[in-house]
């Protein structure tokens, strides 16, 4: 067919995936908008329902007011008759017979006498006895107390009788001496017929029947009483009180779970002075299953439409891909043959589209590859001949390098032996000290750190030295320094004189002028110990000594003055620290390689502070155990980092 004669036209059908994506996007966009409209309609219905219920509440409240006006005329006359009973009884409450008074009024009222503490002390309603208004509600109690002191007649609006649970209305009048407050109100069934005519629950039931999204509607007064259809309202519960308090605080708030949404609304019905709050709280529960069902139907339709669209698109693409890839498969086979070295193969594709043009170009390329392959074969032959000669030369050169490396390694190992030779022996340390440990870890095979010991009669000299550099150069520096110390140290020489002499020799032999390319020197910590008197002296340059005694670590800081460098001062007055080297004394000498080792979570140096803290924790332990802990602490700190400098740390306990 003509439609498949052009590769360009074939490729146009690859737009189908874009069409499929567009179908997805349009379907989801339509579903999203429809969901938005459904939810908006749901919210509008909620608002309309709530406004309608609020309007009914206000309408009923207006009807209550009209009815109250008529009732108050009769109540005001009867309360005066009730108070007159107080005067007849010579102001003696105990002489008032409320049963007789009730009969006089044909038992249509409940009677109450309230004392100065707002407590009901007499009543025809037994449940009311000892009821305290202030304890029930502080604001209500304050209003009752105000009415008693004022002396006027006060009418209360229709509200729930906290004793019976029925709606009622009351009138209040204090006695002439204002000691008591007299109250009368309609009995539980006195207003039943009227309440039935204006029952808000009847209207609410009708709303629930015609509106499928409403699950339930409850009405509460401010004390937590729930209005019910039989007129006797449910007593307050912990839940109803919580609902009322939150409604008064927020005016309107919402609760939601998987089954329903509940809107709680506070309706303020107070105008002017009211003995008690007559506001109402409505709790409207909306059934989520209604909207969820519609959303589920929408999702099902969307998934169905997408599935059908995808199936159709896949079917169309499968047909088109067959025609597009048929010729390409032939070219793939030819390419595979070329990769296996068959340069004589040709593409036998005759078509009038771009693939046909590509096949012709492919055949031309194959012919040129065949020519190039023959030329490469000739070149490879010549290269192989050259490689044979080159390989012999490489073997000879490799042998020479290996021999030189072996000589260098042998020299370094010999330097290690020499450096070990200049170090004090374990025998020397055991003879002169009670106990000791040595941590000596050059960065390379040999290093610039070393320790020195010498005894002249009862005088023992011991030092830890950090020379310039590490490796072989550092090792040569240590050997020279050891030789200088042996020349300088005598029995009577002071540690400060030793350091000045050492400074002079190094500057003389290594740093003869200020123009020298390298600048060689060292840092040292040195002790002079009298094994008889136990008197000792410490002197140091940039290296400190840590002394442990009686569980306390004390630091003796070396002077900030190095030895042997071009800028090192001649005849410097070094600080000499004196201490008693008794049997309970341990000293620690260290180069900066230990404290400068980087590691830890932030890759910082180990630090002197951390070392001092470690020593404080372990100073009471045997020295061999201390050594293990110190090495392990540094190992953990270093982690995968490489050792950056020579490390030396020595602990000595005196006899």
Computed over every residue of the chain, the mean pLDDT equals 83
3-class DSSP state for residue 560?
A: coil
- Helix %, strand %, coil % of the chain (to 5): 50, 20, 30
Residue 555 scores a pLDDT above 70? yes
Residue 5 scores a pLDDT above 60? no
Give the whole-number percent of the chain exceeding pLDDT 90. 38
* CA 619-620-626 angle, 5° bins: 55
User: Which of 189-198, 228-237, 535-544, 588-597 has the lowest average pLDDT?
Assistant: 189-198
pTM over 0.75? The answer is no
User: Mean pLDDT, to the nearest integer, of 507-515?
Assistant: 72
pLDDT digits (tens, 9 = 90+) for 368-424: 777 777 777 777 777 777 777 777 777 777 677 777 666 666 666 766 787 888 899
Strand partners, 587: 547, 652
Instruction: Quote the pLDDT of residue 2.
Output: 43
Q: Would you put residue 128 in left (φ > 0), alpha (ψ -120 to 50) or beta?
A: alpha
Element spanning 109, H or E: strand 109-114
132 with 118: CB under 8 angstroms?
yes
281 with 218: CB under 8 angstroms?
no
3-class DSSP state for residue 68?
A: helix
Which three-class secondary structure string do you get for 350-400? CCCCHHHHHHHHHHHHHHHHHHHHHHHHHHHHHHHHHHHHHHHHHHHHHHH
User: Which of 163-172, 253-262, 614-623 has the lowest average pLDDT?
Assistant: 163-172
Nearest Cα neighbor of 124 from 96, 158, 151 is 96
Instruction: Quote the pLDDT of residue 166.
Output: 64
The secondary structure of residue 132, as a DSSP letter, is: B
User: Which of 112-126, 348-362, 444-458, 634-648 has the lowest average pLDDT?
Assistant: 348-362
Instruction: Quote the pLDDT of residue 212.
Output: 73
- Classified by CATH at the fold level, domain 195-292 comes out as Beta-Lactamase (3.30.450)
User: Which of 66-75, 144-153, 227-236 has the lowest average pLDDT?
Assistant: 227-236
User: Residues near 393 by Cβ (< 8 Å), separated by ≥ 6?
Assistant: none
Between these two residues, 225 and 74, which has the higher pLDDT value?
74
Between these two residues, 622 and 249, which has the higher pLDDT value?
622
Rounded to whole angstroms, the Cα distance separating 359 from 350 reads: 8
343 with 366: CB under 8 angstroms?
yes
Longest CA span, the chain? 146
Helix 471-488 / helix 495-509 crossing angle, nearest 10 deg: 130
User: Which of 34-43, 236-245, 555-564 has the lowest average pLDDT?
Assistant: 34-43
281 with 264: CB under 8 angstroms?
yes
466 with 445: CB under 8 angstroms?
no
First to last CA, the chain: 109
Instruction: Quote the pLDDT of residue 610.
Output: 96
For the chain, the structural domain boundaries read 41-191, 195-292, 426-653
pLDDT digits (tens, 9 = 90+) for 477-487: 899 999 999 99
In terms of DSSP H, where are the helices of 198-237?
200-210
3-class DSSP state for residue 212?
A: coil
Instruction: Quote the pLDDT of residue 576.
Output: 97
Domain at 41-191, CATH homologous superfamily: PAS domain (3.30.450.20)
State the Rg of the chain over Cα.
53
Instruction: Quote the pLDDT of residue 248.
Output: 84
What are the φ and ψ backbone dihedral angles of 351, each rounded to 5 degrees?
-145, 160
Instruction: Quote the pLDDT of residue 3.
Output: 42
Residue 442 scores a pLDDT above 50? yes
pLDDT digits (tens, 9 = 90+) for 342-359: 766 766 666 666 666 666
Residues comprising the chain, all counted: 655
Instruction: Quote the pLDDT of residue 356.
Output: 67
Nearest Cα neighbor of 341 from 379, 382, 375, 369 is 369
Domains 195-292 and 426-653 share a fold: no
503 with 568: CB under 8 angstroms?
yes
Rounded to whole angstroms, the Cα distance separating 488 from 501 reads: 7
Residue 89 scores a pLDDT above 80? yes
Rounded to whole angstroms, the Cα distance separating 182 from 152 reads: 11
Between these two residues, 436 and 46, which has the higher pLDDT value?
436
Nearest Cα neighbor of 550 from 591, 577, 580, 530 is 580
362 pLDDT band, cuts 50/70/90, is low
pLDDT digits (tens, 9 = 90+) for 573-627: 999 999 999 999 999 999 999 999 999 999 999 999 999 999 999 999 999 999 9
450 with 466: CB under 8 angstroms?
no
Q: Which two tokens stand for residue 633?
A: 């602490």
3-class DSSP state for residue 559?
A: strand
Instruction: Quote the pLDDT of residue 622.
Output: 96
- Burial tier of 616 (Cβ tally within 10 Å: 0-12, 13-18, 19+): middle
User: Mean pLDDT, to the nearest integer, of 511-519?
Assistant: 62
Give the whole-number percent of the chain exceeding pLDDT 70. 80
User: Which of 26-30, 119-123, 154-158, 637-641 has the lowest average pLDDT?
Assistant: 26-30
111 with 83: CB under 8 angstroms?
no
Residue 572 scores a pLDDT above 80? yes
3-class DSSP state for residue 349?
A: coil
Rounded to whole angstroms, the Cα distance separating 160 from 236 reads: 11
478 with 486: CB under 8 angstroms?
no
Strand segments (E) across 228-333: 252-256, 260-267, 280-287
Q: Are strands 167-174 and 154-160 parallel, antiparallel or unpaired?
A: antiparallel
The residue to which tokens 């007129």 are assigned: 231
Rounded to whole angstroms, the Cα distance separating 105 from 281 reads: 35
Instruction: Quote the pLDDT of residue 408.
Output: 62
- Classified by CATH at the fold level, domain 426-653 comes out as Phosphatase 2c; domain 1 (3.60.40)
Rounded to whole angstroms, the Cα distance separating 481 from 474 reads: 11
Handedness of CA 125, 130, 133, 137 (dihedral sign): negative
Rounded to whole angstroms, the Cα distance separating 461 from 494 reads: 11
Residue 281 scores a pLDDT above 60? yes
């Amino acid at each position: 067919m003509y439609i498949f004669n052009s590769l360009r036209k074939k490729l146009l059908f690859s737009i189908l995936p874009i069409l499929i994506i567009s179908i997805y996007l349009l379907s989801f966009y339509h579903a999203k908008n429809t969901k938005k409209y459904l939810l908006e309609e749901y919210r509008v219905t909620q608002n309309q329902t709530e406004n309608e219920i609020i309007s009914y509440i206000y309408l009923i409240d207006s009807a209550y007011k009209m009815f109250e006006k008529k009732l108050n005329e009769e109540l005001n006359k009867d309360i005066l008759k009730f108070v007159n009973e107080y005067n007849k009884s010579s102001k003696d409450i105990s002489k008032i017979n409320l049963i007789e008074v009730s009969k006089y009024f044909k038992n249509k009222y409940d009677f109450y006498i309230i004392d100065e503490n707002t407590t009901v002390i007499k009543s025809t309603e037994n449940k009311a006895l000892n009821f305290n208004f202030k304890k029930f509600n502080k604001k209500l109690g304050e209003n009752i107390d105000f009415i008693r002191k004022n002396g006027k007649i006060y009418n209360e609006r229709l509200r729930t009788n906290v004793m019976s649970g029925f709606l009622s209305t009351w009138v209040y009048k204090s006695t002439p001496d204002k000691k008591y407050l007299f109250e009368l109100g309609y009995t539980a069934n006195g207003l039943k017929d009227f309440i039935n005519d204006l029952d808000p629950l009847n209207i609410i039931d009708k709303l629930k029947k015609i509106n499928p999204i409403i699950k339930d509607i409850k009405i509460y007064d401010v004390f937590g009483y729930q209005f019910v259809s039989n007129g006797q309202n449910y007593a307050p519960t912990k839940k109803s009180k919580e609902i009322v308090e939150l409604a008064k605080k927020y005016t309107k708030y919402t609760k939601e779970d998987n089954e329903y949404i509940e809107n709680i609304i506070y309706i303020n019905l107070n105008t002017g002075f009211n003995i008690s709050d007559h506001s109402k709280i409505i709790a409207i529960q909306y059934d989520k299953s209604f909207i969820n069902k519609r959303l589920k139907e929408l999702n099902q339709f969307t998934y169905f439409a997408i599935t059908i669209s995808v199936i159709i698109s896949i079917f169309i693409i499968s047909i088109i891909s067959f025609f597009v890839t048929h010729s390409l498969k032939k070219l793939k086979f030819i390419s595979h043959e070329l990769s296996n070295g068959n340069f004589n193969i040709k593409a036998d594709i005759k078509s009038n589209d771009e693939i046909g043009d590509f096949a012709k170009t492919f055949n031309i390329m194959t012919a040129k590859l065949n020519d190039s392959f023959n030329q490469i074969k000739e070149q490879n032959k010549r290269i192989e001949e050259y490689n044979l000669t080159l390989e012999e030369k490489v073997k000879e050169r490799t042998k020479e390098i290996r021999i030189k490396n072996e000589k260098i390694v042998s020299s370094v190992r010999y330097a290690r032996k020499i450096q070990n030779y200049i170090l004090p022996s374990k025998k020397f340390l055991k003879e002169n000290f009670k106990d000791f440990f040595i941590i000596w870890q050059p960065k390379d095979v040999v290093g610039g750190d070393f320790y020195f010991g010498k005894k002249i009669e009862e005088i023992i000299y011991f030092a830890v030295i950090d020379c310039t550099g590490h490796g072989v150069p550092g090792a040569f520096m240590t050997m020279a320094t050891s030789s200088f110390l042996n020349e300088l140290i005598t029995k009577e020489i002071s540690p400060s004189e030793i350091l000045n002499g050492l400074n002079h020799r190094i500057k003389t032999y290594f740093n003869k002028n200020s123009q020298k390319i390298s600048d060689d020197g060292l840092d040292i910590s040195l002790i002079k110990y009298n094994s008889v008197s136990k008197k000792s002296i410490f002197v140091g340059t940039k290296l400190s000594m840590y002394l442990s005694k009686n569980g306390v670590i004390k630091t003796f800081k070396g002077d900030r003055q190095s030895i042997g460098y071009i800028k090192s001062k001649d005849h410097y007055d070094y600080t000499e620290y004196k201490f008693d080297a008794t049997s309970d004394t341990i000293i620690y000498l260290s180069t900066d390689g230990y404290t400068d080792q980087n590691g830890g979570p932030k890759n910082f140096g180990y630090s002197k502070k951390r070392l001092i803290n470690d020593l404080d924790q372990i100073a009471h332990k045997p020295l061999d155990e201390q050594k293990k802990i110190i090495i392990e602490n540094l190992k953990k700190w270093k982690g995968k980092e490489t050792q950056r400098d020579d490390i030396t740390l020595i602990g000595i306990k005196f006899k």
